[in-house]
């Protein structure tokens, strides 16, 4: 069985955005890699980000209730797989067990599948794609990413597609965040 290579990051949802950033910078001696009014990414080592923060006062849900901005606390934890093959083998194994991701997305910096456990806890299974992507103007313009069809990617992978081509950021619009309770 393919297993994650490492623990990657945790994402928090907060209504104390600036206060949380200051606290994590101070406590972990972390640096802010990217920050805009809605999202921030921090790291304390050579990983592209160890923490991400979603500002619930700015992020809206699916539009059904403008006050439903999600619950404060951990949004998800992320695990990095060694390579595209490991990520896709895990996707296929879980799919065969009836466990499907609620979101498959190319964030530019990672290619990711998001899952919920039986209690609704969310996790991201990812591979790193482009190390310096967060520093780019492209990331600043689209910090969420582009939706991905994992089954189509599996077909290309099984057909012997070039792994470097398979992990390229696809063209497309910024993906909608699946109801804020399941966001990135």
Extract the tokens encoding 89: 């083998």
How many residues does the structure list for the chain?
A: 184
- d(CA 119, CA 38) in angstroms, rounded, equals 27
- Please give the torsion angle defined by the CA atoms of residues 32, 35, 41 and 46, in that order, rounded to the nearest 10 degrees: -40
Contact assessment for residue 54 and residue 36, using Cβ atoms and an 8 Å cutoff: no
pLDDT digit string, tens, across residues 33-88: 999 999 999 999 999 999 999 998 886 555 544 445 467 889 999 999 999 999 99
- d(CA 48, CA 107) in angstroms, rounded, equals 12
Domains of the chain by residue range: 6-182
- d(CA 106, CA 66) in angstroms, rounded, equals 27
- d(CA 14, CA 118) in angstroms, rounded, equals 24
| Mean pLDDT value across residues 168-176 | 92
Looking at residue 59, its pLDDT comes to: 67
Among candidate residues 148, 104, 106, the one with its CA nearest the CA of residue 129: 106
pLDDT digit string, tens, across residues 131-156: 888 889 999 999 999 999 999 999 99
Which residues lie closer than 8 Å to 167 by C-beta, 6 or more apart? 84, 111, 127, 129
Is domain 6-182 classified as CATH 3.10.180.10? yes
Which residues lie closer than 8 Å to 37 by C-beta, 6 or more apart? 55, 58
């Amino acid at each position: 069985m393919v297993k994650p290579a490492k623990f990657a990051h945790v994402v928090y949802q907060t209504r104390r955005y600036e206060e949380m950033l200051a606290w994590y910078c101070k406590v972990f001696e972390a640096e802010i890699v990217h920050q805009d009014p809605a999202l921030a990414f921090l790291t304390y080592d050579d990983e592209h980000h160890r923490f991400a923060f979603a500002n619930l006062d700015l992020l809206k849900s699916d539009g059904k209730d403008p006050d439903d901005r999600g619950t404060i606390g951990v949004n998800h934890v992320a695990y990095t797989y060694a390579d595209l093959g490991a990520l896709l083998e895990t996707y296929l194994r879980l799919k065969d067990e009836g466990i499907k991701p609620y979101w498959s997305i190319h964030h530019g910096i990672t290619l990711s599948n998001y899952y919920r456990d039986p209690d609704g806890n969310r996790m991201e299974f990812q591979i790193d794609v482009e190390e310096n992507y967060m520093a780019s103007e492209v990331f600043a313009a689209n910090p969420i990413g582009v939706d991905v069809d994992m089954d189509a990617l599996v077909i290309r992978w099984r057909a012997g597609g070039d792994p470097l081509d398979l992990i390229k950021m696809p063209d497309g619009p910024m993906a909608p965040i699946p109801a804020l309770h399941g966001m990135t």
